[in-house]
Amino acid sequence: MALLAAMIWPLKGHPRGIPEGTEQLFGLYGDFTLSGNFEKGSPWRYESEVLMVAAQAGRPFPPSGQSIDLAAVGSYNSLGYQLNDHHSLFIGYAFQHVLPPLSGQPTNENRAWQQYNFSLPTFLGALKLTSRLEERTVNIGPGVSYRARQQAKLIYPLDQHWSLVATEEYFVNLNTVSWGPVAGFDQNRLFVGVGYQMDSRWRSEFGYLNNYINRDIVDDRDMDFFAVEVYLDLTE
């Protein structure tokens, strides 16, 4: 456990730790993902995801006079091709609506992306690496933001149903845009929790999600979520 804590703490949020003056939020993070292929044995795949986030500002928890309110909803859809057992390529589109306190004002974001997945079994469990390039536009300002993301996910099996899950994802803005993004480190997400394989198609994961966001000219943001993710795989 001491080794795990030593590994997690440097990853929690900003690479240099959480600086003074950082805005802190609590919240709930829910996600449902449906995936499959178009016919039995087909390498062509689809994936559709729905996200809902509720948030509450401030510490200690719960802050007096505050409630947990809906702060973001999103729909993410992609089409992919399974090259072989280890490699796949995807392209996708997302629409995301974000509300205070996660944004200064209600914001609609349109996002396109291109993605490469690599997965393989290891002595520690199933490892998945995901590389994504995104093109983002919003309704509150002009310009296209380009962002790169790199995620590593490890699933360590405990028995036929239960597993330990850890995910680390690093975001980098590739350009500076008037509506907010600044070139360089954007954010970091760390998830640690447990997974439960209900049957051959249904799987759930739940645990702690930390999302640290670098906001450049204003205070950075450190968000702590209780996260629940549900997966339905209809691959034939």
pLDDT tens digits for range 181-236: 999 999 999 999 999 999 999 999 999 999 999 987 778 999 999 999 999 999 99
8-state DSSP, 102: S
pLDDT tens per residue, range 133-175: 999 999 999 999 999 999 999 999 999 999 999 999 999 999 9
Number of domains in the chain: 1
- Domain carrying residue 94: 2-13+22-233
Q: Enumerate helices (H) and strands (E) in the chain, giving the number of each.
A: 1, 11
Least confident of 57-61, 104-108, 183-187, 206-210: 57-61
* Region of 78 on the Ramachandran plot (φ > 0 left; ψ -120 to 50 alpha; else beta): beta
Comparing 61 with 207, which gets the higher pLDDT? 207
Task: Supply the CATH number for residue 58's domain.
Answer: 2.40.160
User: What's the pTM value of the predicted model, to 2 decimals?
Assistant: 0.86
Strand partners, 208: 192, 226
